[in-house]
């Protein structure tokens, strides 16, 4: 990897364009997204220099294998974020077909099919001349982890955060989930974020009920509708974009707290209330 100068400032239109092409100016990797199952996103990251290709989660072996064939890439590793079936279903078949290595969260390693290596907070994984960091992000599942490539400002967040939304609290307490979202919100604003599901349009319908006067949110909802009409994915997003628009990242913001009548509440309590409302939202 060559050392880059100051990173160009990206507009949201640049992000959308780069997301579709899978190429970001100055980044040595090519990133490919395939929507499979219902709204799972299979993400492949390819390093042309080394020939390595990693999959973030493996929702569907056939869909991923087809994409690898189309691209002419050889899968070298699967990095699982958590143990849910729609993230590990393709593990065994892809490993059998490609001989790839499978890495997954130490907190739920026994539930990750065909796993070779378990990782937790602070562990690093070598990839294409750079390093992938592991962050523990409990809440959706207690063992959930996020993979981050600091050198490229990239993060793969699984089912912790979605664009305009967040994962359901399946196992953890709301406090744990809020802590994990706060950890992601503290990453650099320009961090490019790939999520485990493309459910932005659904999330947006709820988000506007929480902050009907948030103009950044309204603009994002319109953009997402336009992308959907064209049949294009609505992610990646950025931490900065989510800080401005995602109600679940905004539980500490006075404007949001006032909008839902919880001006004096702690952020974790506001987050828990938002999650309850979303769970009950039709
Ligand atoms: Zn999940």
Ligand 1 center to 267 CA (angstroms): 24
CATH number for position 79: 3.60.15.10
Listed range (36-40, 164-168, 169-173, 243-247) with the worst mean pLDDT: 169-173
CA distances from 261 to 270, 272, 279 (A): 10, 14, 19
Give domain status of residue 7, yes or no: no
pLDDT tens-digit series, residues 130-156: 999 999 999 999 999 999 999 999 999
Q: What pLDDT sits at residue 3? A: 47
Ligand 1 center to 123 CA (angstroms): 22
CA 113/CA 96 separation, integer angstroms: 12
Ligand 1 center to 85 CA (angstroms): 8
Ligand 1 center to 237 CA (angstroms): 19
Ligand 1 center to 164 CA (angstroms): 17
Q: Please indicate, yes or no, whether residues 170 and 271 belong to a single structural domain of this protein.
A: yes
- Mean model confidence pLDDT for the chain: 94
Give domain status of residue 257, yes or no: yes
pLDDT tens-digit series, residues 198-221: 999 999 999 999 999 999 999 999
Ligand 1 center to 81 CA (angstroms): 9
CA 136/CA 142 separation, integer angstroms: 9
Q: How many percent of the chain have pLDDT more than 90? A: 89
CA 38/CA 86 separation, integer angstroms: 10
Q: Please indicate, yes or no, whether residues 194 and 262 belong to a single structural domain of this protein.
A: yes
**Which residue has better confidence, 80 or 23?**
80
Give domain status of residue 230, yes or no: yes
Give domain status of residue 132, yes or no: no
Q: What pLDDT sits at residue 2? A: 45
Q: What pLDDT sits at residue 9? A: 57
Ligand 1 center to 159 CA (angstroms): 5
Where does the pLDDT of residue 8 fall: very low under 50, low under 70, confident under 90, or very high at 90 and above? Answer: low
Ligand 1 center to 40 CA (angstroms): 10
Ligand 1 center to 17 CA (angstroms): 28
Give domain status of residue 29, yes or no: yes
Q: Please indicate, yes or no, whether residues 159 and 253 belong to a single structural domain of this protein.
A: yes
Residue 114 main-chain phi, psi, to 5 deg = 60, 25
CA 282/CA 277 separation, integer angstroms: 10
Task: Assess whether pLDDT exceeds 60 at residue 51.
Answer: yes
Ligand 1 center to 213 CA (angstroms): 31
Give domain status of residue 28, yes or no: yes
Ligand 1 center to 144 CA (angstroms): 9
Number of domains in the chain: 2
Ligand 1 center to 214 CA (angstroms): 29
Ligand 1 center to 87 CA (angstroms): 7
Q: Please indicate, yes or no, whether residues 152 and 102 belong to a single structural domain of this protein.
A: no
Q: Read off the pLDDT of each residue in 33-59 and give the average, rounded to a whole number.
A: 97
Ligand 1 center to 95 CA (angstroms): 21
Ligand 1 center to 88 CA (angstroms): 10
Ligand 1 center to 192 CA (angstroms): 20
Give domain status of residue 197, yes or no: yes
Range of the domain at 19: 12-118
Q: What pLDDT sits at residue 27? A: 93
Give domain status of residue 25, yes or no: yes
Reported pTM: 0.95
Ligand 1 center to 96 CA (angstroms): 24
Taking a 5 Å cut-off on Cβ, the residues next to ion ligand 1 are 84, 159
Q: Please indicate, yes or no, whether residues 81 and 170 belong to a single structural domain of this protein.
A: no
Q: What pLDDT sits at residue 17? A: 84
Ligand 1 center to 82 CA (angstroms): 7
pLDDT tens-digit series, residues 112-130: 999 999 999 999 999 999 9
């Amino acid at each position: 990897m060559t050392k880059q100068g100051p990173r160009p400032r990206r507009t949201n239109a640049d992000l959308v364009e780069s997301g579709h092409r899978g190429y970001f100016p100055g980044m040595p990797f090519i990133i490919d997204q395939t929507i499979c199952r219902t709204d799972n996103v299979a993400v492949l990251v390819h390093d042309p220099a080394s020939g390595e290709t990693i999959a973030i989660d493996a929702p569907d072996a056939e869909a991923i294998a087809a994409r690898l064939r189309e691209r002419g890439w050889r899968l070298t590793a699967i990095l699982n974020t958590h143990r849910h079936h729609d993230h590990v279903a393709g593990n065994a078949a892809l490993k059998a077909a490609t001989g790839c290595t499978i890495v997954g969260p130490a907190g739920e390693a026994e539930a990750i099919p065909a796993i070779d290596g378990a990782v937790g907070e602070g562990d690093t994984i070598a990839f294409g001349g750079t390093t992938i960091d592991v962050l523990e992000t409990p809440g959706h599942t207690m063992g959930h982890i996020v993979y981050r490539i600091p050198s490229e400002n990239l993060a793969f967040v699984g089912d912790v955060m979605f664009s305009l939304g967040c994962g359901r609290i399946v196992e953890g307490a709301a406090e744990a989930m809020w802590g994990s979202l706060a950890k992601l919100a503290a990453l650099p604003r320009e961090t490019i974020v790939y999520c485990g599901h493309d459910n932005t349009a659904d999330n947006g319908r709820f988000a506007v009920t929480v902050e009907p006067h948030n103009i950044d949110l309204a603009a994002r909802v319109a953009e997402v509708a336009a992308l959907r009409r064209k049949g294009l994915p609505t992610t990646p997003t950025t931490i900065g974009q989510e800080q401005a628009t995602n109600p679940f990242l905004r539980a500490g913001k006075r404007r949001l707290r006032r909008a839902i009548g919880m001006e004096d509440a702690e952020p974790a309590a506001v987050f828990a209330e938002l999650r309850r409302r979303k769970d009950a939202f039709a």
